[in-house]
Amino acid sequence: MAEESAAGAVHLLCLAASSGVPLFSRSSRGGAPSRQQLPFSIIGSLNGVHMFGQNLDVTLRSARTEDSAVVWKTFHDSITLIVLSSELGCAELRLERLLELVFGAMVLLVGLEELTKIRNVERLKKDLRATYGLIDSLLVDTELAGDLTQCVDCIIPTHGPLLQEALAGFAEEMGSVFASLVAGGRVVVGTEGWWRLGAPEAVLLPWLVGTLPFQAARDYPVYLPHGSPMVPHRLLTLTLLPGLELCVLCGPQPPLSQVEPQVLERWWQPLLEPLRACLALTPRGIPAGFPLHPDILGLLLLHLEQRRGLFTVDLGGEEGPSPSARRRLLRSFYVLVTATHFPPEEKAEEPGCPTGVPRACYVVCGAAAEGPQGRQDPGAGLRLVAVQAGPRRLLLLVSARSPTYALRGLATRTLHALTPLL
């Protein structure tokens, strides 16, 4: 399709930093995986200019042209990642976080030691093939936002406490403190220990589970990029219902063979209806009856201290842009407010900006921003509004019929209403 081929592409390159040997490259175009590869000469130049800077003690971090951006980053003096993006609104913030997460994904699946002490390049290349699925999912259109926000995508279940209790009991019987229920890459409930997982594994583990093909159960070796980059752990996943997986992170014990159907049934059969209800929550993320203003077409709510997020565009409102366009608008707006209006999340509570006082900003989308020629651009006039209060930040995508003077009030009230959820 003409429309698709006109859409931007993302190229990711991975090289051994010292030798410049390419280890792999992955690409996407128009939000879908693509086989297209950059010519070897371009790979060489992109790496060469970065190395040239390095020899002069200059770290080349990023470069832009009118319609594309390049970001370089070298990890542990051993692995260089380069991303080249011509996607609409490709921002350095997004690309830098992408590279961090890609490297995290590589550590998660092959371990830091193999990446920093490269003994056999061919062997490393072969082992890195196991990361392609996860990395590709970071380059294409997604329903999640954690790759960008560095917060764990969540679903707010109707029967949270019941599920929480069962999860805690089950985890204890398994001898692990790390357990969660994951639906479509989003965490429904997690044990206290699970929520203590550091970045990036807190985002990557549910993301990984969301990308793997259907299996009844798995015993999946993972390294934790933050918590245990050298010693592998085991991620056990148990598909309670298609689309709903119970995840347990553990050491050598217990073997997967010990998690018998009877054990699962004892804990989870009594909760079959609440579990089914979780599935009905994807992709909306919040209970159907939850009152939200009908002008709201999508929302991104982040709890910056707990590092959890709720990202949904399935709130009704048939008219207006498609779900993927709504997600794209909210993601770009997130980049904008994070880069310019609000301090980066890490510094959210710096002295001088009193918490509790909501701060806000909004933009109105221009006409024909990305609408196909000749048709009314469904994105024209849409409003995007952000408020921050204490540890919470809320971004809303609002219908064009909503008056701009009421946006801040709408956002503040919505944030207030959502506060008990996250």
Q: Which residues bind another protein (CB under 8 A)?
A: 109, 127, 129-130, 132-133, 213-221, 232, 234, 238-242, 244, 252, 255-257, 261, 264-265, 268-269, 272, 275
Return phi, psi of residue 28, to 5°: -140, 155
CA 291 → CA 12, 230, 387, 417, distances in Å? Answer: 42, 47, 19, 8
Complex with another protein: residue 128 or 148, whichever CB lies closer? 128
H or E stretch at 246: strand 244-250
Residue 177: CB minimum distance to another protein, A = 20
H or E stretch at 172: helix 160-174
Complex with another protein: residue 125 or 408, whichever CB lies closer? 125
* Alpha carbons 93 and 96: distance in angstroms, whole number: 5
Complex with another protein: residue 16 or 279, whichever CB lies closer? 279
Closest-CA residue to 73 (of 106, 96, 104, 41): 96
Sequence-distant (6+) residues with CB within 8 A of 341 are 359, 361, 386
Q: Which residue type, as a one-letter code, is found at position 303?
A: H
**Do the beta carbons of residue 391 and residue 320 sit within 8 Å?**
no
Q: Which residue type, as a one-letter code, is found at position 77?
A: D
Measure CA 325 to chain center: 17
Residue 20: CB minimum distance to another protein, A = 27
Complex with another protein: residue 59 or 253, whichever CB lies closer? 253
Residue 404: CB minimum distance to another protein, A = 44
Residue 98: CB minimum distance to another protein, A = 23
Residue 272: CB minimum distance to another protein, A = 6
Complex with another protein: residue 133 or 227, whichever CB lies closer? 133
Closest-CA residue to 190 (of 150, 201, 272): 201
Residue 185: CB minimum distance to another protein, A = 17
Complex with another protein: residue 40 or 214, whichever CB lies closer? 214
Q: Degrees (nearest 5) of the Cα angle 96, 323, 421?
A: 75
Residue 122: CB minimum distance to another protein, A = 14
SS3 62: strand
Complex with another protein: residue 275 or 382, whichever CB lies closer? 275
